[in-house]
Structure 1
Amino acid sequence: MTDAVVLAAVLGVAGGAGLVILLLLARRLGRGGADLGSDAEQAAHRTLHEAGLAAVHLRGGLGADDVGRAARHLRTLLGSAAVALVQDGRVVAADGPVDEAAARRVAARVVETGRRQVLRAGDAAGAGGADGDGAGVPGGGGPGAGGPGAGDAAAAPIVVDGALAGVLVAFAAPVRAALVRAVAEVADWCAAQLALGELDASRTALAEAELRALRAQISPHFIYNALTAIASFITTDPARARELVLEFADFTRYSFRRQGEFTTLAEELRSIHSYLELERSRFGDRLAVTLRIAPETLSTVIPFLSVQPIVENAVRHGLEPGERGGGIRIEARDDATHTEITVEDDGVGMDPEQLRALLNTDADGAHVGIRNVDTRLRQLYGPGGGLVVETNTGAGTLVRMRIPKSQPQHALDTAGAGA
């Protein structure tokens, strides 16, 4: 059984979500294939290993800087003399002795027909190949015009969400039916990787939009109250007004910063200190704050603006509605593999059913910050990684979050957190 036939069979069976599992398996098996059984099984394992390597470089799209590395692995997958990826009439990546003129020519035919094509070496420019499993237009014996060439070419469309994203072209001498089928299967697999890359990009854009929503929530209510409080001290206590202006500057610089989506607990607590100092200028003795922070938790990497909105929610919706004010207690403790952070207030609380509806609706309004934080935590750490909220009418509110202590994929995002 040839490698091309094995490739077509493996990729044809392993479409969709099943392919992801097989790719993960292939990475493990690719490191120790001496005892994997028959030649056909070993060929399948090598195929999946190369597919896993190519996937990494396809997720950024055909316009990414490292897409050329994907072409190298795709060439190995197909066992062809050369491979090219063509987008908008331009060869964006190639590996091997690619005849770029021939690649563009057969890609144009794919774009025109929407189907896989074969171009025989020596075909005149503009003479389209034939759709089918290796049956092509007879041509001369020399390479196609425009480059050194590597023989015949087989091409297939890469279609993402119904739109043509590019064309995969493989060169061989000659192109046989098994390679034509394999090129079509690999093109479909490339489309799946590009779609997954777009999904990752959408998630990133969503996270950025959620941060913008949090910043928008902070600005109107809090900024107005803070500036009003500062103004009240300008004539009666200029030194206090100056201190509050500096706290306001620190708070806004942190809240509207643009360095990454993650920070440390220490940096977030500095911002919370500035926020609470500004709120104390309004509440006076009616606002009591207690902090119990284990020193070993200060370096924990947390999502940017994940604790601060919970504290603001406690002030605005827990303490502010009551005339007597109240207290807020912020704790962080080391819990083996996680850091557990709690924010508790002794304010008016809320009905548990109302809270449940709040966390499961997209409607705008009060408590948007707590819903936003809960959504982001679940996206980052899974369905069980969201907020735990304990509350009842007249009984105050306790909000708990558990953040994994080991997050190597987010460590670099803390650079410049205090800028």
Structure 2
Amino acid sequence: MPPVVVAVVVAVVLVAVAVAALRVLRRGDLGSEADKATYATLNRASQAAPALREGLTEDAAESAARHLHALLGSEGFAITDTDRVLATDGAVAEGLGMDAVATVLASGRAAVTRDVGALGHVAVVAPLVVEDRVVGALVAVTDDATANLVRATTEVARWVSSQLELAELDASRARLAEAEVRALRAQISPHFIYNALTAIASYVRTDPEHARELLLEFADFTRYSFRRHGDFTTLAEELRSIDRYLTLERARFGDRLQVTVRVAPEVLPVAVPYLCLQPIVENAVRHGLEGKAGPGHITILAEDAGSECLITVEDDGIGADPEQIRLAMTGEGDSDSIGVGNVDERMRTVFGDEYGLVVETGPGLGTKVSMRVPKFTPGVHA
């Protein structure tokens, strides 16, 4: 089983057991000493977990140290990375040096180090491992290293490692999401900026007031497109940005570009991935209508469907070969088609595989792109 899966399973099991223990406590059924000890252990673990999910930093180690120390019940406790002691708890652990953990960091196996500190204490040291990399160590400082303490230190180190794995997974997801948005911006922006500024320039002498209005729309659009915070936005904000985009494109196309927008008020507050509609609308303009003789029509619909919001973007343009769309969705197409595959991947990552894009098209038949967005998803908010 992959390390990340193991980490997730461990975390889920701990949460489930903790919830069950809490329910028992509320009923007043923790009569035995074993029940009380179990609840106390789970409670300590749950208090340490949030800090550890931030990664192996000094702040996280200091926040979690006293809870982890209480789990072990040793005279002293310390947590290190591969370079330094990040936090200690208990007077006997103060002044602990990295020499006490050097062997464990090198071997990746738990060990007992004797004659630690001025009073000659014993250190039980267990490695912290993330994806087969030793990233630090957990240290229980004691007068006597019993077999039970060695086992306990090893198990707590494994649990801490699982939390650090989850922290790294969260960080990698965040980096991936940011990289995907950066790639999307890089694909959209140069083409659009060139066309928008060219269109604005055409009005500078003939209609300077209109040129000024278009420049303000352009500024608002780029401010939204290049913002640096948040993976999600509301459908209302996304549609507002699309309206600015279409205003600028109308300056270029004139009466050739016709747009119909129908949105149910109930779905305006729904949280959607940032820049999930803009690439689809831009594809409709660039790949659907630019190559079409005469006027073209884009229809944007957002409908209320109970627990979901149904969104469609349809154009009556030149259409496309379904095989080309399939390649774009799987990342095998050319870079000019990165938008639709990017959005499809992010939708599936956030909401699940059943929420990918549905594209209906054919040469000369126009294109219709549909997506379903759950109104409420844990962890998703604008």
Q: Is the TM value for this pair above 0.5? A: yes
Deviates more, 1:400-409 or 1:294-303: 400-409
Q: Verify the 8 A CA contact 1:15 1:189 in the aligned structure 2.
A: no
- Equivalence map 1:2-401=2 (5 Å): 18-33=9-24, 47-48=41-42, 50-63=44-57, 65-102=59-96, 104-120=98-114, 123=115, 143-144=119-120, 151-401=121-371
Q: How many residues align?
A: 375
Which runs of 5 or more structure 2 residues have no equivalent in the other structure?
none
Change (3 A) 1:391 1:28: same
Change (3 A) 1:89 1:329: closer
Q: Verify the 8 A CA contact 1:26 1:45 in the aligned structure 2.
A: no
What amino acid does structure 1 have at the position aligned with 2:344?
D
Q: CA deviation at 1:44?
A: 5.5
Q: CA deviation at 1:48?
A: 4.8
What amino acid does structure 1 have at the position aligned with 2:238?
E
Q: Verify the 8 A CA contact 2:69 2:76 in the aligned structure 1.
A: yes
SS of the residue corresponding to residue 377 of structure 1 reads helix
Q: CA deviation at 1:348?
A: 1.6
SS of the residue corresponding to residue 61 of structure 1 reads coil
SS of the residue corresponding to residue 91 of structure 2 reads coil
Structure showing greater Rg: 1
Q: Distance in 1 between matches of 2:13 and 2:227?
A: 41
Deviates more, 1:291-300 or 1:26-35: 26-35
Q: CA deviation at 1:83?
A: 2.0
Q: CA deviation at 1:93?
A: 2.3
Q: CA deviation at 1:345?
A: 0.9
Once the two structures are superposed, residues 130-188 of structure 1 have per-residue CA deviations (whole angstroms, 9 ceiling, x without a partner) of xxxxxxxxxxxx834xxxxxx53211121223432111001233220121122123223
What amino acid does structure 2 have at the position aligned with 1:143?
L
Q: Distance in 2 between matches of 1:268 and 1:314?
A: 16
Once the two structures are superposed, residues 175-213 of structure 1 have per-residue CA deviations (whole angstroms, 9 ceiling, x without a partner) of 201211221232233223212211110110111111111
Q: CA deviation at 1:310?
A: 0.9
Q: Distance in 1 between matches of 2:320 and 2:136?
A: 54
Q: Distance in 1 between matches of 2:378 and 2:204?
A: 47
Once the two structures are superposed, residues 306-348 of structure 1 have per-residue CA deviations (whole angstroms, 9 ceiling, x without a partner) of 1111110111111111112310111112222222221111112
Deviates more, 1:314-323 or 1:59-68: 59-68
Residue 402 of structure 1: aligned partner: 372
Deviates more, 1:385-394 or 1:200-209: 385-394
Q: CA deviation at 1:91?
A: 2.5
Once the two structures are superposed, residues 264-323 of structure 1 have per-residue CA deviations (whole angstroms, 9 ceiling, x without a partner) of 222222211111111111211111100111122222222111111111011111111111
Q: Verify the 8 A CA contact 1:289 1:328 in the aligned structure 2.
A: yes
Q: Verify the 8 A CA contact 2:10 2:162 in the aligned structure 1.
A: no
Residue 131 of structure 1: aligned partner: none
Q: Distance in 2 between matches of 1:337 and 1:76?
A: 45
Normalising to structure 1: TM-score of the pair?
0.81
Q: CA deviation at 1:103?
A: 5.6
SS of the residue corresponding to residue 195 of structure 1 reads helix
What amino acid does structure 1 have at the position aligned with 2:212?
R
Q: Distance in 2 between matches of 1:18 and 1:262?
A: 27
What amino acid does structure 2 have at the position aligned with 1:205?
R
Q: Verify the 8 A CA contact 1:292 1:332 in the aligned structure 2.
A: yes
Q: Verify the 8 A CA contact 2:58 2:86 in the aligned structure 1.
A: no
Change (3 A) 1:64 1:89: closer
SS of the residue corresponding to residue 354 of structure 2 reads helix
Deviates more, 1:192-201 or 1:77-86: 77-86
SS of the residue corresponding to residue 344 of structure 1 reads strand
Once the two structures are superposed, residues 345-368 of structure 1 have per-residue CA deviations (whole angstroms, 9 ceiling, x without a partner) of 111222333322221125542221
Q: Verify the 8 A CA contact 1:23 1:49 in the aligned structure 2.
A: no
Q: Verify the 8 A CA contact 2:297 2:315 in the aligned structure 1.
A: yes
Q: Distance in 2 between matches of 1:225 and 1:310?
A: 17
Q: Verify the 8 A CA contact 1:68 1:94 in the aligned structure 2.
A: yes
Q: Distance in 2 between matches of 1:390 and 1:66?
A: 49
Which runs of 5 or more structure 1 residues have no equivalent in the other structure?
1-13, 126-141, 145-150, 415-419
Normalising to structure 2: TM-score of the pair?
0.88
Q: Verify the 8 A CA contact 1:301 1:405 in the aligned structure 2.
A: yes
Q: CA deviation at 1:41?
A: 7.3
Deviates more, 1:38-47 or 1:254-263: 38-47
Q: CA deviation at 1:25?
A: 1.8
Q: Distance in 1 between matches of 2:299 and 2:53?
A: 44
Q: Distance in 1 between matches of 2:258 and 2:83?
A: 67
What amino acid does structure 1 have at the position aligned with 2:14?
L
Percent identical across equivalent pairs? 54
Q: Distance in 2 between matches of 1:98 and 1:30?
A: 33
In angstroms, what is the RMSD of aligned CA positions? 2.6
